[in-house]
């Protein structure tokens, strides 16, 4: 498990929050918003500066000196944030960056970093398809709607570095907080978690050096760019649901206000994963809006449906 240190900042923490999200006061957030008119389409989040360095160089990102709570790098389409280690830092970094820079409805969001595993060789790249939060015991399942350029795998997120390697999953300290927070700002199909093996039982975390981490990330830049472009191409498939179908459903079944919002989201997801295939409803089994939403959710998340 990675236990690298990094330069930190002091924040005031909310003790009753799920994560200890810092309250950040910026001198002039309106000025920052006015100076960033680009529509950032891809948001990348790393915990450590050494994880970010090869990405900054590859995508020609420039540091934004106006942002103080987190270190942010930008080009015309990409926004990269270095959040710091741990779930609280990652959750705060994602939320802050999205509040400050998000300008499109469905951004591509990527968490990339290092992880430990018992047996996997150093440098192996994995696209995460299951995230387990050890503290809350909640599991998250990122939606994979394409054939990835690398193996997929499950990952557990812990609050403290593990000193043993007796788990079957990859292990990190940020992914669950990243995914849970990112889900508030984009669609599951556009939220990615990439992890590169940095330590195992033969080469424990104590051996990790920043230059080594940067090298591990740099070795996969081509795959990372291919993955981002593949997912970004899917954004065009997320469009406002066909007005006719939406209106037909809300007239036929009772939906609360929140359920109508969920219906729009589910119809958009259907368009994304199927390329606008026709939806055929079994009206005999659907009696209200909740039934429709449950049916849509099962149909979209049916095992083996995407690939």
CATH of the domain at 113: 3.40.50.1580
296 by DSSP, 3-state: which? Answer: helix
Boundary (domain end) residue, out of 183, 201, 235: 235
In a domain, 28, yes or no: yes
pLDDT digits 0-9 by tens, 150-184: 999 999 999 988 878 878 899 999 999 999 999 88
- Contact between residue 199 and residue 1 where contact means Cβ atoms under 8 Å apart: yes
Q: Which range among 127-131, 211-215, 263-267 shows the weakest confidence by mean pLDDT?
A: 263-267
pLDDT at residue 239, rounded to an integer:
56
Among 42-46, 252-256, 287-291, top mean pLDDT goes to 42-46
Same domain, 56 and 139: yes
Same domain, 56 and 190: yes
Model confidence band, residue 240 (pLDDT cutoffs 50, 70, 90):
low
Q: Which range among 37-46, 200-209, 232-241 shows the weakest confidence by mean pLDDT?
A: 232-241
In a domain, 307, yes or no: no
In a domain, 306, yes or no: no
Strands 42-46 and 108-116: parallel
Q: How many domains does the chain have?
A: 2
Same domain, 290 and 160: no
How far is Cα 229 from Cα 204, in angstroms, rounded to an integer? 34
How many Cα atoms within 13 Å fall on the side-chain side of residue 30? 0
pLDDT more than 70, % of the chain: 82
CB atoms within 10 A of CB 60: 10
pLDDT at residue 97, rounded to an integer:
95
Q: What is the average per-residue pLDDT within 234-246?
A: 66
> Does 199 score more than 90 pLDDT?
yes
169 by DSSP, 3-state: which? Answer: coil
> Does 219 score more than 90 pLDDT?
yes
> Does 306 score more than 60 pLDDT?
no
Same domain, 166 and 288: no
pLDDT at residue 37, rounded to an integer:
57
Range of the domain at 296: 243-300
Helix axis angle, 221-235 to 49-58, nearest 10°: 70
For residue 131, the cross-strand partners are: 140, 155
152: alpha, beta or left, given left = phi > 0 and alpha = psi -120 to 50?
beta
DSSP 8-state symbol, 299: H
Q: Minimal CA–CA distance to 187: which of 134, 245, 144, 248?
A: 144
> Does 27 score more than 50 pLDDT?
no
Q: What is the average per-residue pLDDT within 280-293?
A: 83
* Residue 50 CB-density burial (10 A; 0-12 exposed, 13-18 middle, 19+ buried): buried
pLDDT at residue 93, rounded to an integer:
97
pLDDT at residue 236, rounded to an integer:
67
> Does 16 score more than 50 pLDDT?
no
In a domain, 2, yes or no: no
Q: What is the average per-residue pLDDT within 4-33?
A: 39
pLDDT at residue 268, rounded to an integer:
78
Same domain, 163 and 45: yes
pLDDT digits 0-9 by tens, 67-106: 988 999 999 999 999 999 999 999 999 999 999 998 877 8
Same domain, 113 and 224: yes
In a domain, 210, yes or no: yes
Same domain, 146 and 20: yes
Between 20 and 83, where is the model more confident?
83
């Amino acid at each position: 498990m990675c236990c690298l240190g990094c330069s930190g900042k002091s924040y005031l923490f909310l003790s009753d929050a799920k994560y200890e999200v810092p309250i950040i006061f910026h001198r002039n957030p309106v000025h920052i918003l006015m100076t960033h008119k680009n529509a950032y389409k891809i948001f990348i989040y790393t915990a450590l500066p050494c994880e970010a360095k090869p990405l900054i160089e590859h995508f020609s990102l420039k540091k934004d000196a106006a942002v103080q709570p987190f270190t942010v790098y930008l080009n015309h389409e990409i926004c990269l944030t270095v959040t710091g280690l741990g779930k609280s830092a990652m959750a705060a970094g994602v939320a802050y960056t999205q509040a400050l820079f998000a300008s499109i409805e469905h951004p591509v969001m990527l968490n990339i970093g290092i992880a430990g595993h018992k047996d996997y060789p150093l440098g192996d790249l994995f696209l995460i398809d299951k995230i387990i939060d050890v503290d809350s015991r909640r599991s998250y399942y990122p939606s994979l709607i394409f054939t990835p350029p690398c193996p997929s795998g499950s990952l557990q997120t812990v609050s403290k570095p593990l000193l043993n390697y007796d788990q079957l999953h990859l292990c990190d300290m940020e992914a669950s907080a990243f995914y849970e927070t990112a889900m508030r700002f984009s669609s599951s199909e556009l939220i990615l978690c990439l992890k590169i093996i940095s330590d195992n039982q033969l080469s424990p975390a104590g051996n990790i050096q920043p230059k080594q981490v940067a090298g591990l990330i740099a070795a996969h830049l081509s795959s990372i760019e291919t993955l981002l472009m593949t997912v970004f191409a899917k954004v065009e498939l997320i469009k406002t649901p066909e007005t006719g179908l939406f209106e037909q459903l809300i007239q036929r079944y009772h939906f609360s206000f929140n359920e109508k919002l969920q219906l729009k989201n589910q119809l958009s997801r259907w368009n994304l994963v199927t390329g606008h295939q026709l939806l055929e409803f079994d009206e005999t089994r659907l009696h209200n809006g909740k039934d429709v939403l449950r049916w849509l959710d099962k149909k979209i998340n049916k095992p083996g449906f995407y690939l």
